[in-house]
Amino acid sequence: PISAINEDEVRSLPLNDDGHPKSLEEKQKNTPDSNVYFQLDAYGVLKQFSKVNYIERYINANFLNGHCHLDNVRKRYETPGKNNITIRSRLYIDLVSDLMFNYHMVQLLNIRAKTPNVNSSTYAYIYSHKPTFKAKSLFRDHLKTLPTVVGHFAELDYVFGVPLAKDYPKIHNNVNKNWYNYSVEEQEFSRQIIRYWTNFIKTGDPNDGLPVPVQWNAYTNVNRAYIDLKLNDIQRRQNYFDSMYDFWFELYKQDKIGCSMMKTKKKNIFIILALILLIITFMLGFLIIRRHIQRKSIYRRSINSPSTIPISSHNNGVLTLNDDHTTQPLVTSFHVKT
């Protein structure tokens, strides 16, 4: 995964008089080397992204109805970094990485996981180590200016043991060794990766054979497992890309419907909900009115029909009176003179 540059890295960028990082033109004037492509910085790259309206162009290039999804994409990949150059730079890189590589990789993993083969297993990895080489190239030096970027194919040097080749002079007869200043830790990291790949090639299981530092679990429909290959910190990851995959999967599904259909569908849902609410309101109103009428009718009957209290019995000077509107007898008594 890509981590953000810290404040010290931002402050280390060459600044002009107003405190902002110098433009490419300013840096070109003050740089003996006219090759300004090697003088790019995170601020300049971010400014260029914004200038060319990169997100809109990138989404339109990948979707039939890109304008339908632009707001959702901006909310995920631009808005969170609105006031922070570090976060914005990382989000731009995430956008390209997710849409160009990660989404389609996870889609393939899920397809394979849903059609299991007893004779084979699938293993997925995340490569997180930014190399320290000094070899110059337009592509690699451009990446170095961005926040801790790990470029595509960056792991191949370690898979094929390039860090280990520094001790073999014959390999480097025509190469400047200073460009390949790999550390001792990076050499061991290369050996670890080679063991994983070698075991998998020989047995179909990266854990079976040469000793490896961390168990690499297979990717299945239930256990969406990855191994994160990072210098001095190889570890297992679970469901690493789920949120990203669900986001783009939903956008691609909506894209097949089209903008007009999406709007019609949302409009129909709104109409249905409004009708349901209207029916519920009508029924509640009807019940309230009905109950009011019933209470009013009972009240009128009680006024028009006054109660009578007939004498029901006479015994030993005690009268028992019945009230038509009570369930218990009303009892009173009086003494009769004899």
Give yes or no: residues 92 and 173 share one domain.
Answer: yes
For the cut 50, the answer to whether the pLDDT of residue 135 exceeds it is yes
| Residue (of 120, 110, 126) closest to 224 by Cα position | 110
Give yes or no: residues 158 and 278 share one domain.
Answer: no
In a domain, 66, yes or no: yes
Give yes or no: residues 27 and 139 share one domain.
Answer: yes
Give yes or no: residues 51 and 104 share one domain.
Answer: yes
Give yes or no: residues 217 and 295 share one domain.
Answer: no
Query: Do residues 34 and 75 lie in contact, with contact meaning Cβ atoms separated by under 8 Å?
Result: no
In a domain, 329, yes or no: no
Within 13 A of 229's CA, how many CA atoms are on the CB side?
26
Read off the pLDDT of residues 28-53 as tens digits, 9 standing for 90 and up: 445 444 344 334 455 666 666 666 67
Last residue of a domain, one of 200, 231, 257: 257
In a domain, 331, yes or no: no
Q: What is the pLDDT of residue 127?
A: 95
Q: How far apart are the first and last CA of the chain?
A: 112
Most confident of the ranges 106-110, 165-169, 301-305: 106-110
Please name the residues in contact with 4: beta carbons below 8 A apart, sequence gap of 6 or more: 86, 87, 89, 90, 147, 148
In a domain, 313, yes or no: no
d(CA 108, CA 117): 15
Give yes or no: residues 251 and 294 share one domain.
Answer: no
Please name the residues in contact with 58: beta carbons below 8 A apart, sequence gap of 6 or more: 95, 96, 99
Give 51: exposed, middle or buried? Use CB within 10 Å, 0-12, 13-18, 19+: exposed
Last residue of a domain, one of 200, 232, 257: 257
In a domain, 321, yes or no: no
d(CA 177, CA 167): 10
Read off the pLDDT of residues 200-212 as tens digits, 9 standing for 90 and up: 999 999 999 999 9
3-class DSSP assignment, residue 149: coil
CB atoms within 10 A of CB 147: 22
Last residue of a domain, one of 257, 288, 318: 257
In a domain, 39, yes or no: yes
Give yes or no: residues 158 and 290 share one domain.
Answer: no
Read off the pLDDT of residues 214-246 as tens digits, 9 standing for 90 and up: 999 999 999 999 999 999 999 999 999 999 999
More confident residue, 321 or 267: 267
d(CA 114, CA 222): 10
For the cut 90, the answer to whether the pLDDT of residue 195 exceeds it is yes
**Confidence category of residue 165, pLDDT binned at 50, 70, 90:** confident
d(CA 265, CA 126): 38
- Average pLDDT over the chain reads 75
Q: What is the CATH number of the domain that holds 119?
A: 3.40.50.1820
Q: What is the pLDDT of residue 253?
A: 92
Read off the amino acid at residue 75: K
How many separate domains does the chain show? Answer: 2
Give yes or no: residues 271 and 216 share one domain.
Answer: no
Give yes or no: residues 129 and 278 share one domain.
Answer: no
Read off the pLDDT of residues 69-107 as tens digits, 9 standing for 90 and up: 999 999 999 888 888 877 887 888 899 899 999 999 999
| Residue (of 217, 268, 256) closest to 238 by Cα position | 217
Q: What is the pLDDT of residue 186?
A: 92
| Residue (of 245, 246, 244, 212) closest to 229 by Cα position | 212
For the cut 90, the answer to whether the pLDDT of residue 330 exceeds it is no
Q: What is the pLDDT of residue 317?
A: 46
More confident residue, 256 or 123: 123
Give yes or no: residues 162 and 216 share one domain.
Answer: yes
Give yes or no: residues 104 and 20 share one domain.
Answer: yes
For the cut 90, the answer to whether the pLDDT of residue 189 exceeds it is yes
Q: What is the pLDDT of residue 239?
A: 96
Find tokens 């109805």 and name the residue: 65
Average pLDDT of the residues in 282-288: 86
Q: Which domain holds residue 272?
A: 258-300
Query: Do residues 323 and 330 lie in contact, with contact meaning Cβ atoms separated by under 8 Å?
Result: yes
In a domain, 245, yes or no: yes
Q: How far is CA 315 from CA 31, 139, 337, in A?
A: 128, 118, 15
Read off the pLDDT of residues 6-27 as tens digits, 9 standing for 90 and up: 333 333 444 444 444 454 445 4
In a domain, 73, yes or no: yes
Give yes or no: residues 154 and 253 share one domain.
Answer: yes
